[in-house]
A and B are shown apart, each in its own frame.
Chain A
């Protein structure tokens, strides 16, 4: 479980996050949704420690994370898996080396044990016979799956996904969503997903946090989001022709 309490963040004179507070629950897919510029990426970066909040507190299972020294953050970081928007796979390493990287850095496994683990997680994300391909040789959907495999290779307790479906076709996007959802349930991970894809929201949104102009505007789930009278949220949810037609 991740507790976010009264987080504020400004860049120059612009306040990007205003007293945001929420709880990301264990074993569930927790979504942060909102329009571009609403502050969802900054909130996620605060949670993973890439941006330091101006005020407020973030704690992982009651262990403070924000406002502590880097060496104290390191232990919690080792329990995190992060799926970046572009995958952020290491160009100089092949798929196997990418997935093995956290194991090389933080475990004392033997080479055979590491290879077994790599093959297991690659199989879990439905990738076989790709071990020796480089990131430049695989498709966008495969890259995301390799990035998920790398994120879960070291058995993380917390999984963060930044726009997991960006740049993917609807079918592949659904596969990725399903995969994240299954992994969350299977390994009882606290998963936080940053998205503005309504398909993802309706498919895997067990806990949804809607940010509007830097404020936490609404909280709910994939069922209640379609029946709210919150005007700003309705503007966001029913912003496309397809969703408007479905509503009618």
Chain B
């Protein structure tokens, strides 16, 4: 465990060096924005709209006291989406989608000697391959999470309209009430930390693949499992540090 942590930290030192060529790094960054970010918009939208709808319906279903105003449905949906569902659940989904992609892409490059080819050319492979992925994830994931929150709230609103459990005006009144801007800051901090975990851990596991296609598959699975566990663990730590 200590050895793995040491290897991971040494790899990070290699990753966070000045790129060999600025224009090449910027081009790679754009490629990763598309591959890791833009290509994830669809799945984020689908999951978010349904999550928002489900949270709204479940909250409305559980309010059976006439003393609790129905505006609580909008309020609860907003708080749940901002505090937990969008930053954490979507990051877990991205750990599966993006993490496995990073680990298998870099792992395949390792077993087909493409990383060796980079190294013998005099290129720093860790920096060239992993730094754009970490940077793109840390810059684009907050955009995805904001998008997820907005789409989730729309999902909740439409669910209320379709089911008739809560009037649209009540839902919107709840959304607008008792808003603390720090909750968004908290969500963004979590998102950036989770993005770093997903890209760096998956990059490390792919970079250190030794063997053939079976090992690439194992690294891809391990990337998802390890990233997910770390996301939940850091979710607890960050919540304790930032909210309590």
Chain A residues engaging chain B, CB cutoff 8 angstroms: 48-50, 73-75, 77-78, 80, 82, 84-86, 88-91, 101-102, 104-106, 160
A-B contact pairs, 5 of them (CB 8 A): A88-B112, A90-B117, A91-B114, A105-B24, A105-B123
B122–A86 touching, CB < 8 Å: no
Complexed CA–CA distance, A74 and B127 (Å): 15
A50–B120 touching, CB < 8 Å: yes
A106–B122 touching, CB < 8 Å: yes
A84-B116 contact, Cβ under 8 Å, with A91-B108, A104-B24, A105-B21: yes
Query: What B residues does A88 contact at CB under 8 A?
Result: 112-114, 116-117
Q: Chain B 92-122 against A: per-residue CB contact (8 Å), 1 yes, 0 no?
A: 0000000000000000110011101101111
Query: What B residues does A82 contact at CB under 8 A?
Result: 117, 120-121
Measured CB to CB, the nearest residue on chain B to A104 is B24
Total A-B pairs, Cβ < 8 A: 54
Query: What A residues does B123 contact at CB under 8 A?
Result: 105
Chain B residues engaging chain A, CB cutoff 8 angstroms: 20-21, 23-24, 108-109, 112-114, 116-117, 119-123
Q: A77-B122, A91-B114, A104-B21 are in contact. List 14 more A-B contacts (CB 8 A).
A: A49-B119, A50-B116, A77-B121, A78-B122, A80-B121, A80-B122, A84-B113, A86-B112, A86-B113, A88-B116, A90-B114, A90-B117, A104-B23, A105-B123
A102–B121 touching, CB < 8 Å: yes
Complexed CA–CA distance, A105 and B119 (Å): 12
Closest 10 CB pairs of A and B: A77-B122, A88-B117, A88-B113, A78-B122, A84-B113, A74-B122, A82-B120, A48-B120, A88-B114, A105-B21
Query: What B residues does A85 contact at CB under 8 A?
Result: 113
B21–A49 touching, CB < 8 Å: no
Complexed CA–CA distance, A47 and B108 (Å): 24
A118 smallest CB distance to B (angstroms): 16
A41 smallest CB distance to B (angstroms): 11
Complexed CA–CA distance, A59 and B20 (Å): 25
A91 smallest CB distance to B (angstroms): 7
A104 smallest CB distance to B (angstroms): 6
B117 smallest CB distance to A (angstroms): 4
Query: What A residues does B122 contact at CB under 8 A?
Result: 73-75, 77-78, 80, 105-106
B121 smallest CB distance to A (angstroms): 6
Complexed CA–CA distance, A89 and B121 (Å): 13
B129 smallest CB distance to A (angstroms): 10
Complexed CA–CA distance, A101 and B108 (Å): 19
Query: What A residues does B120 contact at CB under 8 A?
Result: 48-50, 77, 80, 82, 160
Query: What A residues does B24 contact at CB under 8 A?
Result: 104-105
Query: What B residues does A86 contact at CB under 8 A?
Result: 112-113
A100 smallest CB distance to B (angstroms): 11
Query: What A residues does B121 contact at CB under 8 A?
Result: 77-78, 80, 82, 101-102, 105-106
A112 smallest CB distance to B (angstroms): 16
Complexed CA–CA distance, A104 and B123 (Å): 11
Complexed CA–CA distance, A176 and B120 (Å): 22
Query: What B residues does A50 contact at CB under 8 A?
Result: 116, 119-120
Complexed CA–CA distance, A212 and B24 (Å): 44
Query: What A residues does B116 contact at CB under 8 A?
Result: 50, 84, 88
Complexed CA–CA distance, A160 and B113 (Å): 14
Measured CB to CB, the nearest residue on chain B to A74 is B122
Identify which of A73, A75, A88, A106 gathers the most chain B CB atoms within 10 Å of its CB: A88
Query: What A residues does B21 contact at CB under 8 A?
Result: 104-105
A21 smallest CB distance to B (angstroms): 22
B104 smallest CB distance to A (angstroms): 12
A184 smallest CB distance to B (angstroms): 18
B118 smallest CB distance to A (angstroms): 9
Query: What A residues does B113 contact at CB under 8 A?
Result: 84-86, 88
Query: Which of A73, A91, A105 is B20 in contact with, Cβ under 8 Å?
Result: A105
Query: What B residues does A80 contact at CB under 8 A?
Result: 120-122
A87 smallest CB distance to B (angstroms): 8
